[in-house]
Structure 1
Amino acid sequence: MSFRKIVSLTTLLSFLVMCYTGLILIIVPEGRVAYWGGWQLLGLNKSQYGELHTATSLLFLIVSILHIYLNWKAIMQYLKNRAKNFVLFTPNFVVALIITTAVFMGAYYKVSPFSDLFIWQSDVDDYWADKYGEPPFGHAELVGLKNFSKKMDLDFTKVKEILNKNGIKYDNENETLLQIAKKNNKTPQDIYLLIKDAEIGADINEVKPETSKVEEKMPAEGSGLGKKNILSVIEEYGLDKNLAFSNLKKAGIKFDEKSLMKDMAAQIGVTPIDLFKIMKEGR
C-alpha cells in the first residue's frame, strides 16, 4: 500500500461526497419547513445531510492538508518563473486569485449571475414551503404538546380528546410534536392539522367553513419571509400589487420585482415583518 495514493484517493472520494451533500443542502427546504413537513431524500433528513456534510468536509480538509504536504515541491514549481526563481504573483497565480476574488465579491455584492442564483434558491425555498407548509412559529416541532397548545390558544383537554380519537400515541404532555410524530409515523404538521381546530371555546365537532390559503397564512417570526422576493410575497398573501409598490416608494425604498424582503427591509432598518406591514398599510 502507498500512503500517497491513499491520501489522493481519499481526497477524491471525500470531495465527491462533499459535493453531493453540499448540493442537497442547497436545494433542501429551509430547516423550519424540512422539520415541520418531515422532508427526506433517499431515507435521510436535512439534519442527517448536514451532519454528513460536516463530517465529510472535515475529512476533506485533513486529507487536503496531507495532499498539499506530500505535493509541496510540485506546488512550489507553480510559483516559479522560467528562471526557476520563486515569484508569488506568477501569471497562473494571478488568474487563480482573480477568479477567486471575482466569485467572492460577486456573491458579496449580489451581482449577476450570483444574484440570479440566490433568487433561484429563494424560489426553491418558496416551492418547498408551498408543498410542505410552514410551522406557525419557529421550531414549533420542538415544543411540548401542552406548551404548544397554550401558545396556539388551543384547549388542551380538546387536544387530548382529538389525539385519542385518532389513535395518536404519546406518553406525556411534555412530549414534543416531533417526538409524537415520529412515534406515530407522521410529521409534526400532521399532528398540528389534527389538533388545530381545538380552539378555546370552539366545538371540535363543529364543521367549519373552508378558508382560503391567503386567510390562513399570515407572516410570522421564523416564517422565512425575509428570503422571499416581493412578487412571491404579494401573491402568497393576496396583497394589492399597485398599493404595495406605492407604499414602498413612499417609504423611500429602492426595489424591483426580484428584490428580497430582507434586502428592502435593511434599507430602512426594519424587520421583514415590519416591511410587510408597510407594503400592506403604508407608514
Structure 2
Amino acid sequence: MRKWIDLFLFYATVIIVVSGVVLYIMPHGRVAYFTGWRFLGIDKDGWTNLHVIFGILMVIVAVWHIIVNFKPLKHYLTKKESIYAALITIIISAGTVAGVQPFKSVSDLEEYIKNSWEVSKTEIPIAHGELLTLKKFCLELDIPLNEAIKKLKEKGIQFKQDETLKEIAAKNNTTPDKIYEIIKKNSSQNSTLILKSGVGRMKLEEFCKKNNYDLDRVSKILKAKGINFSKNQTLKDIATANNLTPADIVNILQKAR
C-alpha cells in the first residue's frame, strides 16, 4: 500500500513541479491566448489543466497517505517541531498575501519573466479579444467590417462573421494575433483602445514612455488631483492606493497629451 502511495506522490509531484514552473514563467493569459503561445506543444489551458488535475490527485493521495500513516503523524503533531512548522507556514502565507519582502520578490520575478517573452511585445488591442466574434471584434476597435472581410478574403482566410477570432485562427492554422494583423487599421488605429490590455501592470514611467506622455506634465496633473504616486509604481498600485481603478488613472493621464 505505502509503495503505491509513494509512487503516486512522486509522479504527481514531478508533473505539478513542471507545470507549476511553466505557469510561473509563461506570458500573461491575455498574451498567451491571443498569440496562441505554446510550450512543448501544449497551450496555456493544457498546462493549467495538468496542474489542476494532478493537484487534485496529489490531494487525494496525500489524504490517503495521512490515513495510512496517521499514528506516526499524530505523534509528530505533539512535538515542538509541529508548532515551528505551523508558524513558518503562517508567516509565509501572511507575507505572500501582504506582498512583503522577500515574498514579493518572487512575484516581481514572475512578472519580469512573463513580460520578457517576445510574444509579450505583441500588440493586444483587447484583453481576450480572441473570444469575440469577427463582427464584435471589429465593432470594438472601430474597424469597418467590410474592410476586414475584404482583407481576410485577399489573404485566403476561411471564416464566418459569427466565428470568434480563435475559431477563425484554428480553422486557418494560425493564431488570433495574425488575424488581427491582417484586419487592423495601419496608422489610424485608435491608440486609446490599445490601453485596455495589461495597462495596470505597467509602471507609470513605462506607461508614459510607451504612449509618448510627458512624465513631468503627468506628474503635475496627478499632484493637482491629489493623487499620491511614484514613477516606479504600477498604475494598478497607484490606483489602489488612491481608491481608484487603473482606468481612472488612464483617463486622467490622457489630459497630459
TM-score normalised according to structure 2 size? 0.88
Correspondence 1:154 to 2:143: yes
Q: Distance in 1 between matches of 2:80 and 2:229?
A: 40
Change (3 A) 1:260 1:94: farther
**CA gap 1:21/1:102 in 2 versus in 1, 3 angstroms:** same
Q: Which moved more, 1:62-71 or 1:267-276?
A: 267-276
Per-residue deviation, 1:160:
1.9
2:243 is equivalent to residue 278 of structure 1 = no
DSSP-derived class of the 1:137 partner: coil
For the residues of structure 2 that align with 1:139 and 1:228, how far apart are their CA atoms?
Answer: 18
Per-residue deviation, 1:257: 4.4
Aligned to 2:217: 243
Correspondence for 2:91 among 91, 99, 102:
102
How far off is 1:66 after superposition?
0.4
* Deviation of the 1:125 alpha carbon: 3.7
Q: Is the 8 A contact 2:31 2:120 kept in 1?
A: no
Give the Cα–Cα distance (whole angstroms) in 1 for the partners of residues 87 and 232 of structure 2.
Answer: 29
In structure 1, runs of 5+ residues without a counterpart are 81-89, 198-207
Q: Report the CA distance between 1:186 and its aligned residue.
A: 1.2
1:144 to 129, 133, 137: 133
2:152 match: secondary structure: helix
**Alpha-carbon displacement from aligned partner over 1:62-91 (angstroms, at most 9, x marks no partner):** 0000011111111112133xxxxxxxxx42
Label 1:59 to 1:216 Cα distance change in 2 as closer, same or farther (>3 A): same
Residues 7 and 67 in structure 1, CA contact (< 8 A), matched pair in contact too? yes
CA distance in 2, matches of 1:253, 1:15: 46
Deviation at 1:6, TM superposition (A): 0.6
The separation in 2 between residues aligned to 1:130 and 1:94, in whole angstroms, is 46
Equivalent in the alignment of 2:14: 16
Contact residue 32 and residue 134 of structure 1 kept, 8 A: no
The Cα shift of 1:58 comes to: 0.5
Structure 1 range deviating more: 27-36 or 149-158: 149-158
Q: Alignment identity in percent?
A: 30
**Alignment equivalent of 1:77, drawn from 59, 68, 75:** 75
Of structures 1 and 2, the larger Rg is shown by: 1
Query: What is the identity, as a one-letter code, of the residue corresponding to 1:123?
Result: Y
Task: Please say if residues 162 and 195 of structure 1, whose CA atoms lie closer than 8 Å, have aligned partners that are also in contact.
Answer: yes
Partner residue in 1 for 2:32: 34
Counterpart check, 1:175 vs 2:163: yes
* Alpha-carbon separation, structure 1, partners of 2:115 and 2:210: 10
Match of 2:244, as an amino acid? V
Whole-angstrom distance in 2 between the partners of 1:168 and 1:263: 42
Shift of 1:218: 5.4
Number of matched residues?
256
List structure 1 runs of 4+ shifted beyond 4 angstroms: 215-219
Residue in 1 that maps onto 2:3 = 5
CA contact (8 A) 1:245 1:279 kept: no
RMSD: 2.5
Q: Displacement, 1:279? A: 4.1
* Mapped contact 1:218–1:237 kept (Cα < 8 A): no
Q: How does 1:58-77 map to 2 (within 5 A)?
A: 58-77=56-75
SS for the counterpart of 1:78 is helix
Identify the match of residue 191 of structure 1 among 179, 192, 210: 179
The Cα of 1:95 is off from its aligned counterpart by 1.5
Shifted more, 131-140 versus 242-251: the winner is 242-251
Question: Is 2:152 aligned against 1:163?
Answer: yes
Specify the code of the residue in structure 2 equivalent to 1:49. W
